[in-house]
Amino acid sequence: MALIHEDNERSKTFTRRALLLGGGQAVLFSTLAARMYYLQIIESDRYKMLAEDNRINLRLLPPPRGRIVDRYGVPMAVNQQNYRVVLVREQARDIEQTLDMLGRVIDLSEYDFQRVMREVSRKRAFVPVTVRDYLNWEEVSRIEVNAPDLPGVNIEVGQTRSYPYNEEMTHVLGYVSAVSEDDLTGDPMLELPGFRIGKQGIEKQYDGTLRGAAGTSQLEVNALGRVIRELSREDGKPGQDLVLTIDAALQTYTHERLQAERSAAAVVMDIHTGDLLALASAPGYDPNLFNVGLSNEVWNQLVKDPLAPLTNKAIAGHYAPGPTYKPMVALAALEAGISPDFKFFCPGFMQLGNARFHCWKKGGHGTVDMYQATQQSCDVYYYELSKRVGIDRMSAMAKRFGLGATMGIDLPGERPGVIPTREWKLANIGEPWQLGETLVSAIGQGFVLTTPLQLAVMTARLANGGKAVVPRLTRQAHGAQKTETPEAAGFPDMGIPSAHLQVVQTGMDLVTNNVRGTAYRARIEEEGWEMAGKTGTSQVRRITMAERAAGVTKNEDLPWRRRDHALFISYAPVRAPRYACAVIVEHGGGGSKVAAPIARDILIETQRRDPSNTPPIAQVGGQPSKRG
The answer on 104 and 150 residing in a single domain is: yes
**Number of domains within the chain:** 2
The CATH number that applies at residue 211 is 3.90.1310.10
Q: 31 lies in a domain?
A: no
Q: 349 lies in a domain?
A: yes
> What is the pTM (predicted TM-score) of this model?
0.81
How many alpha carbons lie under 13 Å from residue 173 in its C-beta half-sphere?
35
The answer on 453 and 427 residing in a single domain is: yes
Q: Is the pLDDT of residue 422 over 80?
A: yes
Q: 45 lies in a domain?
A: no
Label residue 63 by pLDDT band (50, 70, 90): confident
Secondary structure of residue 229 in the 3-state scheme: strand
| Nearest C-alpha neighbor of 450 from the set 307, 275, 328, 532 | 328
Which burial class, exposed, middle or buried, applies to 282 when counting CB atoms under 10 A from its CB (0-12, 13-18, 19+)?
A: buried
Contacts of 77 (CB under 8 A, 6+ apart): 67, 68, 161, 162, 163, 169, 173, 202, 203
The answer on 178 and 111 residing in a single domain is: yes
Q: Is the pLDDT of residue 624 over 50?
A: no
User: Do 187 and 213 meet the contact criterion of CB atoms below 8 Å apart?
Assistant: no
- Choice among 177-191, 243-257, 409-423 with the minimum mean pLDDT: 177-191
Task: Tell me what the pLDDT averaged over the chain comes to.
Answer: 85
For residue 160, what are the domain limits?
59-243
Q: 18 lies in a domain?
A: no
pLDDT tens-digit map of 267-322? 999 999 999 999 999 999 999 888 777 778 888 999 999 999 999 999 999 999 99
The answer on 273 and 209 residing in a single domain is: no
The CATH number that applies at residue 568 is 3.40.710.10
The answer on 403 and 292 residing in a single domain is: yes
The answer on 279 and 214 residing in a single domain is: no
pLDDT tens-digit map of 3-20? 555 666 666 666 767 677
Other beta carbons within 10 angstroms of residue 103's beta carbon come to: 15
The answer on 88 and 155 residing in a single domain is: yes
Secondary structure of residue 466 in the 3-state scheme: coil
User: Do 416 and 406 meet the contact criterion of CB atoms below 8 Å apart?
Assistant: yes
> In the predicted model, what is the mean pLDDT of residues 577-598?
95
Other beta carbons within 10 angstroms of residue 20's beta carbon come to: 10
CA–CA gap between residue 88 and residue 590 (Å, rounded): 64
Q: Which of 225, 243, 261 is the last residue of a domain?
A: 243
CA–CA gap between residue 567 and residue 318 (Å, rounded): 13
The answer on 229 and 292 residing in a single domain is: no
Higher confidence at residue 211 or residue 401?
Answer: 401
User: Do 618 and 497 meet the contact criterion of CB atoms below 8 Å apart?
Assistant: no
Structural element, H or E, at residue 253: helix 248-258
Q: Is the pLDDT of residue 463 over 90?
A: yes
